[in-house]
Structure 1
Amino acid sequence: MVRTHSALLLIALLLATLMAGKVAAHPPAPQRFVAIALHDVVDNPAELDDDGVTSDQLGGFFEWLAGNDWTAISLDDIERARRGLQPLPPRAVLLTVDDGYRSLYTRVYPLALAYRTPVVAALVGDWMDTPAGDSVEYGQQRVPRSHFITWAQAREMQASGLIEFASHSQGLHALLPANPQGNLLPAAQTRQYAHGRYETDAQFRARIRADLVRARTRMQQELGRAPRALVWPYGRYNQAALEEASSLGFQFALTLARGPADAAHPLHISRFMPAGDKNLGLMIHDLRMAEPWPPARRLVEVDPQSFVGADAEATNQKLGQLIEQLVALGATHVLLDAVSLSNDGRVQSAWFPTSQVPVEQDLLSRFSAQMSARAGVQIVARLPHAAALATLGDSRQVLALYADLASHVPFDALLLEGMQAPVLYPARPDDAPWDVRERRDAIAQVEGVGGDALALQAFRLAERARPGLELFWLAPDTAAQLPASGIAELTLVARRLQAPGRSPAFVLDAPLSRRTGILWSADSPAAPALFVRSIRAFQAQGGTEFGWQADYPHSGLPPLSIAPEFSARDSLPPGYAP
């Protein structure tokens, strides 16, 4: 429905009235610091894996920190800052090392002694308890036990007063079957699929709790103290897992979310991970977080219906072809339709397990996992809340539908559409992703107008299952200027491709170009050529975020002929990982 400017203004005023007093007027001053997640340290670059760094890189990094007024802090420092007893220094950095590789003892520990640097090291109980001469299961491969430290070495390092050991779980550093097709996903976030059914919430909580209890018990036995910090394996967890950890006495929880950490939120400590063959300059660049937004995003909408075959084998073949096309197109994100809609805009069926609407097939989790792993894309889930409400007629059922989606399907962002509230919070040129999250959190409980409150509730519910979830907002397509919301990581506007001279004028706010973009759609045979011209015109204005939206049944993907203009490869710096 087309809304006039005055109607939008009226809605904005109503929302502002409702929100008055519900956003913290004086939030506590942040006690921010940077946390770094190291893993293995090797001498030879040829021995590097995806998570490691070289010895010379690490040594140079320690020296750079010492010579540039950075202060390495401990968990005690964070706790004192949280309690208001002592502020953190201006350039505070928390060094952490995951997995307990032997290099923790042979490479990191000597540097910690030389520079008097505190380190938090995370140990996996099952790996530590593996007998000498055996091997441990690391991801999907076997690694010799000798590649990891011993309990005796851990006790020696702990006695120095510089190394504090955290739990990396007992056995959650593993991948579990997450769907009927057997895709493996991180154990601390995944509802395990076994014997033809998914774990219930109670079973999931019981599994997490039992593991964390075992881990704390073993560390108490071997090190004389129970760990107060938990480092989530793979950085993956959900709110239920966090609640179990907190109830067991963990005071700190560390993730792999990007951005600065805040002493006021010790159970949500973000860390960045310097990995691969990065030189010292790139490590320092990451430490400073000078460019927090992705340099470019290319979205492709995928309707599962277009890629489902007559049987499982045919579907797998189509999925493989889809992944090859995504790679060839240079896509960075896939907009994955979670439900099928009828012509009147109602939800016909879902592609994930739920009792709220009919289930077409339980395929969305597999599509998401396969595309993420093999095409290297991030997944943006699309489930229109207005369509769900029109179908179910009960907001509680709508929220239950979103809860089922988030519980069973891995995705990185949720697309919200049919909303007006985000326009109340215009983006600022100097916003970073963590500023957006903080602003969004401050208004998460507000009661909006119409479907806005329901949409925000749906996002918050999904975020409980997928911490770190990004919000992509599909703005009303009547705007003459591309808006940017300060509570969304990306603002998109839908545009239909039209012949040159017929497309409406479009103005891009260049300073916010990494926060705004267009979803183009077309049902014309000339669409590829029009798309190429539209891309070039948009990029000439500074635009970097855009995508292709399926606009008619079984439209599939855009043709590969547009790949030279569409691909993000030329826009990404060396070593960039989304």
Structure 2
Amino acid sequence: MRCKLRKIICAVLCCGVMAASCAAQAAGGKVPVLMYHDLTDDAAATNSMTITAERFRWDMEFLQQFGYTALLPADLIDIQSGAREMPDKPVMITFDDGYRSNYDYAYPTLQQTGMKAVISVVAYNMQPSSFASDDRHSLTWDEIYEMANSGIIEIGSHTYNLHNPQYGGNGAPDGVNGVMRLRGETQSAYNARVGADLTNALTMIRQYTGQQTVNYFSYPFGAYDAWMEQLLNQNGVRVSTLTNGAVADISNGLHRLPRYRIMMDNPVSSLLRQSERAAPALARVSVNGAEASLPAYNINGNNYVRVRDVAKLLAGTTSEFSVNWNSEAGRVELISFSAYTPRGNELAPLPAGSKQVQSVTEPTVADYQASMVAAFNIDGSTFYKLRSLGDLCGFRVDWDPSSQTVQVTA
């Protein structure tokens, strides 16, 4: 009887695991994971680990504009277990090390754009606020506590102090590289050395953040060791990442997830560039009560119109704006309350037939402020949602469902 009961229990558990795995696979299971380190307001100080705060803002605006849902490690655990569904366009945003700029620059931008991120800290380098210097480069525990309790930041581990600065860090002698085992080291010795570091890190994170669990670990230098994965599992750390660039697939598990390194010359707008099918359409528009039609491309149920057509339509109103193409920067530049100079080809009909189109990779500049806006460059013209142009240039856009007309107040 007991044997039969055990078989039934095992069958139920196996079915649960399979169902959870299938749920992740049914949702696709694939998540691009983005890797950041430090941010700066000095464009001359960027490198392979540091981008400008402005570039980070554009990255987050891109994700927001194109409907991405940022997931935390806790969300991945829930999705893989079947407790929640994978969103249509998932992404995970990660920061390594715990730089002060994560609080000064990244945190406000995440709040403004509705994004979330996990920050894996080198616990040894984090500072109590009472001892923090003005020129510090690392976060304080007070800053970490605030972010961890905001609902949009999860704190993970990047070790307590195993970046091996005493050996020169990455590329150290005798193969000492992050959490990799030493030459000739036994597993028991490894567990004592690296396990103590992990315990210290997890204890400090729990103590200073109030997080009951630490779900996430990022491998220093992306250097993986199977013994470390065993330690992570023993300590309840269920998600870990490396640094090899590829799309993560959580249907294969939550450890050793690949990540894309985001740099100035490899922004999110290029990495996740949208490729969509566009069908020609006509957008019915009313400008201050006067009806007109704008040639448009319907992309995913939204009409995108040529920016110069809109500028022509609003010429002479209080919301007119000028349009300039900056060929060197590869972007559109708009000036509100400025007269538009027609080119003569505005409002030209679009060619018949749908086509594959790609999103723009550079921001739009409106009144000298650059923002990442959902837009597509099609046949040499840039197409935007009318509401986006209204937000950029200050005119009101409403939808009248009874007449199926976009109403513009300019």
> TM-score when scaled to structure 1?
0.40
Question: Does 2:134 correspond to 1:149?
Answer: no
Q: 1:90 to 1:232 in 2, by over 3 A?
A: same
Q: Tell me the amino acid that sits aligned with residue 270 of structure 1.
A: P
Residue 182 of structure 2 is matched in structure 1 by: 191
Residue 150 of structure 2 is matched in structure 1 by: 160
Note the C-alpha offset of 1:130. Answer: 7.8
Alpha carbons 1:42, 1:52 under 8 Å: kept: yes
Alpha carbons 1:170, 1:211 under 8 Å: kept: yes
Larger strand percent: 2
Q: 1:214 to 1:94 in 2, by over 3 A?
A: same
Counterpart among 31, 53, 67 of residue 55 in structure 1: 53
* CA deviation profile, 1:91-126 (whole Å, cap 9, x unmatched): 210011111111100100001111121110111111
Counterpart among 226, 243, 267 of residue 256 in structure 1: 243
Residue 267 of structure 1 is matched in structure 2 by: 255
Residue 163 of structure 2 is matched in structure 1 by: 173
Alpha carbons 1:175, 1:185 under 8 Å: kept: no
Alpha carbons 1:57, 1:279 under 8 Å: kept: no
Looking at structure 1, the residues matched to 135 and 218 of structure 2 have their Cα atoms a distance apart, in angstroms, of 21
Residue 115 of structure 2 is matched in structure 1 by: 117
Alpha carbons 2:129, 2:142 under 8 Å: kept: no
Residue 445 of structure 1 is matched in structure 2 by: none
* CA deviation profile, 1:235-274 (whole Å, cap 9, x unmatched): 1121111111111111111221221112331122221111
Residue 3 of structure 1 is matched in structure 2 by: none
Note the C-alpha offset of 1:129. Answer: 4.6
Residue 311 of structure 2 is matched in structure 1 by: none
Residue 214 of structure 1 is matched in structure 2 by: 200
Looking at structure 2, the residues matched to 287 and 227 of structure 1 have their Cα atoms a distance apart, in angstroms, of 29
Question: Does 2:24 correspond to 1:35?
Answer: no
Q: 1:116 to 1:134 in 2, by over 3 A?
A: closer
Matches within 5 A, 1:9-408: 28=22, 29=25, 30-129=28-127, 146-174=136-164, 182=173, 185-191=176-182, 198-225=184-211, 226-264=213-251, 265-275=253-263, 277-278=264-265, 280=267, 283-287=268-272
Note the C-alpha offset of 1:159. Answer: 1.9
Looking at structure 1, the residues matched to 127 and 52 of structure 2 have their Cα atoms a distance apart, in angstroms, of 27
Aligned residues: 247
Q: Tell me the amino acid that sits aligned with residue 205 of structure 1.
A: N
Structure 1 residue runs of 4 or more that deviate by more than 6 Å after TM superposition: 130-135
Q: 1:104 to 1:274 in 2, by over 3 A?
A: same
Q: Tell me the amino acid that sits aligned with residue 247 of structure 1.
A: Q
* CA deviation profile, 1:59-104 (whole Å, cap 9, x unmatched): 1111111112222122233122101233212321001111111110
Q: 1:40 to 1:210 in 2, by over 3 A?
A: same
Looking at structure 1, the residues matched to 175 and 254 of structure 2 have their Cα atoms a distance apart, in angstroms, of 29
Q: Unaligned 5+ residue runs, structure 1?
A: 1-23, 136-143, 193-197, 291-578
Alpha carbons 2:68, 2:90 under 8 Å: kept: yes
Alpha carbons 1:175, 1:184 under 8 Å: kept: no
* CA deviation profile, 1:469-528 (whole Å, cap 9, x unmatched): xxxxxxxxxxxxxxxxxxxxxxxxxxxxxxxxxxxxxxxxxxxxxxxxxxxxxxxxxxxx
Alpha carbons 2:120, 2:158 under 8 Å: kept: yes
Looking at structure 2, the residues matched to 229 and 211 of structure 1 have their Cα atoms a distance apart, in angstroms, of 15
Q: Tell me the amino acid that sits aligned with residue 42 of structure 2.
A: N
Note the C-alpha offset of 1:55. Answer: 1.5
Larger helix percent: 1
* CA deviation profile, 1:143-191 (whole Å, cap 9, x unmatched): x97111100011111221111100111011225759xx94564130141
Alpha carbons 1:176, 1:190 under 8 Å: kept: no
Alpha carbons 2:129, 2:140 under 8 Å: kept: no
Aligned-residue RMSD, C-alpha = 2.9
Find the residue that maps to 1:98 and give its secondary structure.
strand
Find the residue that maps to 2:214 and give its secondary structure.
coil
Looking at structure 2, the residues matched to 279 and 235 of structure 1 have their Cα atoms a distance apart, in angstroms, of 19
Find the residue that maps to 1:186 and give its secondary structure.
coil
Q: 1:166 to 1:145 in 2, by over 3 A?
A: farther
Q: Tell me the amino acid that sits aligned with residue 213 of structure 1.
A: T
Note the C-alpha offset of 1:134. Answer: 8.5
Q: Unaligned 5+ residue runs, structure 2?
A: 1-17, 276-410
Alpha carbons 1:259, 1:289 under 8 Å: kept: no
Looking at structure 2, the residues matched to 90 and 134 of structure 1 have their Cα atoms a distance apart, in angstroms, of 42
Q: Tell me the amino acid that sits aligned with residue 271 of structure 1.
A: R
Alpha carbons 1:133, 1:145 under 8 Å: kept: no
Q: Tell me the amino acid that sits aligned with residue 228 of structure 2.
A: A
Looking at structure 2, the residues matched to 66 and 120 of structure 1 have their Cα atoms a distance apart, in angstroms, of 17
Looking at structure 2, the residues matched to 145 and 43 of structure 1 have their Cα atoms a distance apart, in angstroms, of 15
Looking at structure 2, the residues matched to 249 and 268 of structure 1 have their Cα atoms a distance apart, in angstroms, of 15
Q: 1:238 to 1:182 in 2, by over 3 A?
A: closer
Q: 1:191 to 1:108 in 2, by over 3 A?
A: same
Find the residue that maps to 1:269 and give its secondary structure.
coil
Find the residue that maps to 1:147 and give its secondary structure.
coil
Q: Tell me the amino acid that sits aligned with residue 164 of structure 2.
A: A
Looking at structure 1, the residues matched to 109 and 129 of structure 2 have their Cα atoms a distance apart, in angstroms, of 28
Looking at structure 1, the residues matched to 258 and 111 of structure 2 have their Cα atoms a distance apart, in angstroms, of 25
Note the C-alpha offset of 1:39. Answer: 0.6
Q: Tell me the amino acid that sits aligned with residue 182 of structure 2.
A: R
Percent sequence identity is 25
Further displaced range: 96-105 or 83-92: 83-92
Looking at structure 2, the residues matched to 70 and 96 of structure 1 have their Cα atoms a distance apart, in angstroms, of 15
